[in-house]
Amino acid sequence: MFKKVLIANRGEIALRIARTCRELGIKSVAIYSDLDLKAPFVHFCDEAYSLNGRTSIETYLNMDKIIKICKISGVEAVHPGYGFLAENAEFAKCITESGITFIGPSAEAIELMGNKTAARKRMIAAGVPVVPGTEKAITSQKDASNTAERIGYPILIKAAAGGGGKGMRRVDNASELRSSIEAAQREAGAAFGNAEVYIEKYLEDPRHIEFQILADNIGKTIHLGERECSIQRRHQKVIEESPSVLLDTTLRKQMGEAAIKAAQACGYVNAGTIEFLVDKNRNFYFLEMNTRLQVEHPVTEMVTGLDIVKDQLSIAAGNEMTLNKSVECFWGHSIECRIYAENPDDNFSPSPGLIHHIAPPSGPGIREDSGVTTGNEISLYYDPMISKLISWAPTRSEAIERMIRALREYELQGIHSTIPFLIKVLQHKRFIEGKFTTHFIEEETSLFEMNKEKGKIAALAAAIYFEQEKNKKQFQAGAELPDSNWKHVKRKKAMER
C-alpha cells in the first residue's frame, strides 16, 4: 500500500479521502487555494501546500503547480476526487509520466469515455444499448436534419465533451434545429474548448439510473448495484438513493451486466460509474461513463458496507479485489441530499457568504460529509456545495423520514441553503410513491410557492409600498400628505400633557 498520497481536490471530498487514508495508515497531503486556508480538509491532512491563488484556474486546475508539489512532498500517488482534474486525461498522463500513481483509470480510458460520441461508438460495438441518434459529431445541417427525421422529434443536441447540461438543447421541430445546433456549439466551445455536438432521441418520462463499477488490474470487473439519480434540476443531481424503487431483480441483472460490459469495452480499471436512462417502457440506454468517484458514492457504501475510496487505493496499489462477484443484495435503504448554498425560490441562484453558524445533525442512521465549518466562507469561485447529508434505514420509507428529521435538525446561519426545498421534495407524494422522472422538479411548481403566511406578509408590504408611492406623488403634485400614524401618536401625547 502507498505511504503518502496527495489529494488533488478540496472541500468535503478531500476530507473524505483523507479520512480513509488515515484509517489505512497512509499520510495525506492537501493542496489549497488562498480562500481555503481555514478549510477543515487543510488542517486534517498530515501535510498541506499552498497553490497561491484564488480562482480554479490559478489553483485546483493548475497541473504544473500540482505536479511540482507532488515532487516536493514526495508522494507516491495522487487521488483526484471528482470535478476539477479528475476526468482530465492529460493530467492522468502527466502524473503517470512523473513516476507517480494516478488513483483512477488510465489516461486512454478517460479520454475515450470523456468523448461522448467516441463512447457511444464503442458501446454500440460492444452491444450495449444506446439512445438512438448519431454515432459521431454533427458535420452538417443536412446530416442533422436527416438524423432528426429518422429518429423523430423531439431530439436533444448534446456536447460531445463535458456534461452538466452545458451545450444541451431540446429541439421539438425542424424549424428549431439550425438555431439550436449553433447555440449548443457555442456553449460547448466556451465550456469545454470543444464545440462538437451530436444528436440523441429525447426520451419521454426518463429515469436516471447509474451503476457503480469496480475493476482491478487482474481483469476482474464487478458492479456494486445501482443508484437512483432522477431528482435533478438543470441536469444536476439533487437527491440520490440506493437501491432504486424502479428496478426489480430481472432489470437490475440486465443493467448490471450491461454496465460491466461497458466498462470492459474500454479496458477500465478502478472505480467508475456507468449511467443509464430508462424510458417509460422500462427500456434502458447507455448515457455516459464517469471515470472517477461519484459525488453520490456514500449511498452505495451505506447499503453495501464497503469503503469505495479504500478499494480505489488498493486497486491502484496493484492489489486484487477482495470481492469475487457483483453485489446482488443490499442492506436496507440509503438517501443522499446535496445541501447547496443556493436560493431555490430565486431559480437556485448562488448564495455566497460567511457561515456564521453550522451544526449538522446526527443520531441513528445519519452520515454527513462536509468540507466547511463555522467561520468558513462559501465563495463564488467554487461549487456552492455545503455538505452531503446521508440517511440509512431498514426501509425506504424509514430512510425518508429519518432524512426529513435530520434536515430539520440542521442548523445553518449566514447564507441561504436548499434545506427547506429538500424537505418539500421528500414530503411530496410522487417522491414517496417513487413515481417521478428527471422532470420532477420542473413539473412540480408547488415546490417553489411561498407559504400562506409569507404570502400575506409580502402582499401587505406591497400594499404599504404602493400607498406610500401614491402619497409621495400627491405631495409632489402639491396635495397635502395624509397624516401618518406616528403623527396621531404625537398629537395624542401632546394632548395628554
pLDDT digits (tens, 9 = 90+) for 295-341: 999 999 999 999 999 999 999 999 999 899 999 899 999 999 999 99
Residue 6 or residue 138, greater confidence: 6
Question: Is residue 218 situated within a structural domain?
Answer: yes
The verdict on 184 and 161 lying in the same domain is yes
Catalytic residue among 169, 252, 292, 396: 292
Q: Name the average pLDDT for the chain.
A: 91
Cell of 385: 456545495
The verdict on 434 and 481 lying in the same domain is no
Confidence of residue 490 (pLDDT cuts 50, 70, 90): very low
Per the CB < 8 A criterion, the answer to whether 158 and 167 are in contact is: yes
Burial 19-56 (b: 16+ CB within 10 A, else e): bbbeeeebbbbbbbbebbeebbbbebbebbbbbebeeb
Confidence of residue 487 (pLDDT cuts 50, 70, 90): very low
Q: What are phi and psi of 274, to 5 degrees?
A: -100, 120
pLDDT digits (tens, 9 = 90+) for 108-137: 999 999 988 899 999 999 999 999 998 888
Per the CB < 8 A criterion, the answer to whether 210 and 275 are in contact is: yes
Q: Which residues pair with 210 in a beta bridge?
A: 227, 275
**pLDDT, average across residues 17-27:** 98
Distance between CA atoms of 299 and 390, rounded to whole angstroms? Answer: 7
Question: Is residue 121 situated within a structural domain?
Answer: no
Confidence of residue 465 (pLDDT cuts 50, 70, 90): low
Q: How many domains does the chain have?
A: 4
pLDDT digits (tens, 9 = 90+) for 318-331: 999 989 999 989 99
Instruction: Identify the CATH number of the domain in which residue 396 sits.
Output: 3.30.470.20
The verdict on 159 and 213 lying in the same domain is no
Residue finishing a domain among 201, 221, 251: 201
Question: Is residue 260 situated within a structural domain?
Answer: yes
Question: Is residue 468 situated within a structural domain?
Answer: yes
Q: Which residue has the cell 456534461?
A: 163
pLDDT digits (tens, 9 = 90+) for 391-400: 999 999 999 9
Confidence of residue 467 (pLDDT cuts 50, 70, 90): low
Mind giving me the DSSP string for 303-354?
Answer: HH---HHHHHHHHHTTPPPS--S------SEEEEEEEESEEGGGTTEE--EE
Q: Which residues pair with 353 in a beta bridge?
A: 378
Angle at 91 between CA 87 and CA 95, to 5 degrees: 125
The verdict on 317 and 384 lying in the same domain is yes
Contacts of 455 (CB under 8 A, 6+ apart): none
Contacts of 141 (CB under 8 A, 6+ apart): 177, 178, 181
Question: Is residue 374 situated within a structural domain?
Answer: yes
Question: Is residue 388 situated within a structural domain?
Answer: yes
Burial of 471 (0-12, 13-18, 19+ CB in 10 A): middle
The verdict on 196 and 291 lying in the same domain is no
High-pLDDT (> 90) share of the chain, %: 84
The verdict on 442 and 334 lying in the same domain is yes
pLDDT digits (tens, 9 = 90+) for 138-159: 989 999 999 999 999 999 999 9
Cell of 12: 468535503
The verdict on 318 and 397 lying in the same domain is yes
Task: Check pLDDT > 90 for residue 288.
Answer: yes
Q: Which residue has the cell 484564488?
A: 54
Cell of 283: 427500456
Per the CB < 8 A criterion, the answer to whether 223 and 211 are in contact is: yes
Distance between CA atoms of 204 and 285, rounded to whole angstroms? Answer: 13
Per-residue DSSP letter, 383: -
Contacts of 226 (CB under 8 A, 6+ apart): 209, 210, 211, 212, 242, 243, 244, 247, 252, 255, 256
The verdict on 471 and 432 lying in the same domain is no
**pLDDT, average across residues 80-96:** 97
Question: Is residue 127 situated within a structural domain?
Answer: no
Q: Please give the C-alpha separations between residue 102 and each of 68, 86, 111, 316, in angstroms, as whole numbers.
A: 15, 10, 14, 7
Per the CB < 8 A criterion, the answer to whether 9 and 82 are in contact is: yes
pLDDT of residue 46: 98
Cell of 317: 496499489
Question: Is residue 124 situated within a structural domain?
Answer: no
Task: Check pLDDT > 70 for residue 474.
Answer: no
pLDDT digits (tens, 9 = 90+) for 344-384: 999 999 999 999 999 999 999 999 999 999 999 999 999 99
Residue finishing a domain among 184, 201, 218: 201
Q: Which domain holds residue 473?
A: 456-496
Instruction: Identify the CATH number of the domain in which residue 178 sits.
Output: 3.30.1490.20
Residue finishing a domain among 201, 223, 258: 201
Radius of gyration of the chain (CA): 26
The verdict on 217 and 335 lying in the same domain is yes
The verdict on 166 and 224 lying in the same domain is no
**pLDDT, average across residues 48-71:** 97
Q: Give catalytic status of residue 292 as yes or no.
A: yes
Instruction: Identify the CATH number of the domain in which residue 95 sits.
Output: 3.40.50.20
Contacts of 51 (CB under 8 A, 6+ apart): 31, 32, 33, 58, 59, 60, 62, 65, 66, 69
Distance between CA atoms of 487 and 213, rounded to whole angstroms? Answer: 73
Confidence of residue 484 (pLDDT cuts 50, 70, 90): very low
The verdict on 140 and 241 lying in the same domain is no
High-pLDDT (> 70) share of the chain, %: 90
Cell of 355: 457561515
pLDDT of residue 166: 81
Q: What are phi and psi of 77, to 5 degrees?
A: -150, 160
pLDDT digits (tens, 9 = 90+) for 161-207: 876 678 899 999 999 999 999 999 999 888 888 899 999 999 989 99
Burial 422-433 (b: 16+ CB within 10 A, else e): bbebbebeebee
pLDDT of residue 470: 59
pLDDT of residue 117: 87
The verdict on 348 and 334 lying in the same domain is yes
Cell of 475: 405631495
